[in-house]
Amino acid sequence: MNDTDLNSMLKRAASAVPVSIPSSLESSIMARVKTDEGRAKRWRSFVQWLLLLAAISGVLTAGMICWSMASRDTTHTVPPTMKLFREGLPK
C-alpha cells in the first residue's frame, strides 16, 4: 500500500455514512439497559465492601503498629529522678 492508496482509503472512511442500529434492535437494547441494574448494583456493592474492608484493615494495622511501638517504649516506665531527692535535704 502506498501513500495514494492510504489517503484515498482514509478519505472514503471519513466521508462514509455511519451505520445506524435498526430501531427494533435499539429499543430492545435500551430496554435491557434500563432493566439490567443487577450488574451495576453488584459492582457497586463489591466496591463499597472493598473500600470498607480496606479502611478497617488500615485502622487495625495502625493500631497494631502503635501498640507495638508503645509497648517497646521505656520512656515512661521509670519516673525521672528529681533534683530534690538526689541531693538530699537542704541544709
The predicted-structure confidence for 15-66, as pLDDT tens digits, reads as follows 777 677 677 777 777 777 777 777 778 889 999 999 999 999 999 999 999 9
Q: How many domains does the chain have?
A: 1
- Domain membership of residue 84 (yes or no) is no
Domain that holds residue 70: 49-77
pLDDT given for residue 91 in this prediction? 56
- Domain membership of residue 58 (yes or no) is yes
- Domain membership of residue 67 (yes or no) is yes
- Domain membership of residue 22 (yes or no) is no
pTM, rounded to two decimals: 0.48
Q: Are 29 and 21 in contact (CB under 8 A)?
A: yes
pLDDT given for residue 46 in this prediction? 95
- Domain membership of residue 55 (yes or no) is yes
- Domain membership of residue 69 (yes or no) is yes
Give the residue ranges of DSSP H helices in the chain.
3-15, 23-35, 38-72, 83-87
- Domain membership of residue 68 (yes or no) is yes
Sorted by sequence, the CB contacts under 8 Å of residue 19 that are 6+ apart come out as none
Mean pLDDT of 67-81: 83
